[in-house]
């Protein structure tokens, strides 16, 4: 019963989203949490770059203690959308401690022509830096292969609760091609389970390459 509702929610989420994605959220660095059991969520965002707008949508649901996600992205100037599927599982929960650990894996490619030779493995670690859990540090280590390039990946991010509805986000990440990007911005909670991110991004390996990201996060009902 629960499994059927979760699968239906996942399919409905994918059906109403723009056919566009990438395999992550509007953030570059992942945290060590997943969606509640038998619940779904939707992360979507648009990036405004010098080449145009990049649209992404990633619905995800948790079954058997594992969060399963499906991402679709449309990049500017490319007729074929990109797809990505992922699985994420919590290894150490934060309920009785100030840190948590998870593991994730992903596979992706293009829809036309059908291709699925991009993959990644990662271990996110989240640490609460204060007793009130208002400042969280996120660390990522992993390995990825993309476009015939493979190597280790890493990232560090910080999330600071400024007010009941506002948070400061700042992070920096390196991909398998040793290219680093950083971003800083704000998150605004609209209502319980829904929030908006506004982020300014700098790609350090490309001179004068900056863009803005507007993200929308929605937690679905069980």
- pLDDT tens digits, 155-177: 999 999 998 899 999 999 999 99
Q: What is the pLDDT of residues 86-133, one digit of tens each?
A: 999 999 999 889 999 999 999 999 988 888 889 999 999 999 999 999
* Residue 64's pLDDT band (cuts 50, 70, 90): very high
Percent of the chain with pLDDT over 90: 68
> Mean pLDDT across the chain, nearest whole number?
86
Residue 54 in this model has a pLDDT that exceeds 60: yes
- In this prediction, residue 10 carries a pLDDT of 38
- In this prediction, residue 112 carries a pLDDT of 83
Distance CA 221, CA 38 (A): 9
Residue 56 in this model has a pLDDT that exceeds 90: yes
Owning domain of residue 133: 2-219
CATH number for the domain spanning 140: value is 2.40.160.40
- In this prediction, residue 208 carries a pLDDT of 61
- In this prediction, residue 45 carries a pLDDT of 95
* Residue 51's pLDDT band (cuts 50, 70, 90): confident
* Residue 49's pLDDT band (cuts 50, 70, 90): confident
Q: What is the pLDDT of residues 69-79, one digit of tens each?
A: 999 999 988 88
Residue 11 in this model has a pLDDT that exceeds 70: no
- The structural domain count of the chain equals 1
């Amino acid at each position: 019963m629960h499994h059927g509702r979760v699968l239906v929610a996942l399919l409905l989420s994918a059906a109403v989203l723009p056919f566009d994605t990438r395999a992550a959220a509007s953030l570059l660095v992942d945290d060590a949490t997943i969606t509640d059991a038998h619940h779904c969520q939707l992360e979507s965002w648009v990036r405004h770059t010098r080449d145009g707008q990049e649209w992404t949508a990633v619905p995800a649901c948790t079954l058997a203690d594992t969060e399963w996600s499906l991402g679709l992205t449309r990049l500017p100037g490319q007729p074929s959308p990109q797809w990505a599927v992922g699985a994420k599982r919590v290894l150490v929960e934060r309920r009785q401690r100030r840190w948590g650990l998870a593991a994730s894996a992903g596979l992706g490619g293009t829809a036309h022509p059908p291709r699925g030779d991009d993959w990644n493995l990662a271990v996110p670690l989240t640490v609460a830096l204060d007793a009130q859990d208002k400042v969280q540090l996120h660390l990522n280590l992993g390995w990825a292969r993309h476009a015939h390039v493979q190597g280790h990946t890493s990232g560090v991010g910080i999330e600071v609760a400024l007010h009941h509805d506002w948070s400061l986000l700042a992070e920096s990440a390196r991909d398998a091609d040793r290219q680093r990007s950083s971003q800083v911005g704000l998150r605004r909670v609209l209502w319980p389970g829904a929030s908006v991110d506004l982020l300014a991004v700098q790609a350090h390996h490309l001179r004068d390459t900056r863009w803005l990201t507007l993200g929308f996060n929605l937690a679905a009902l069980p």
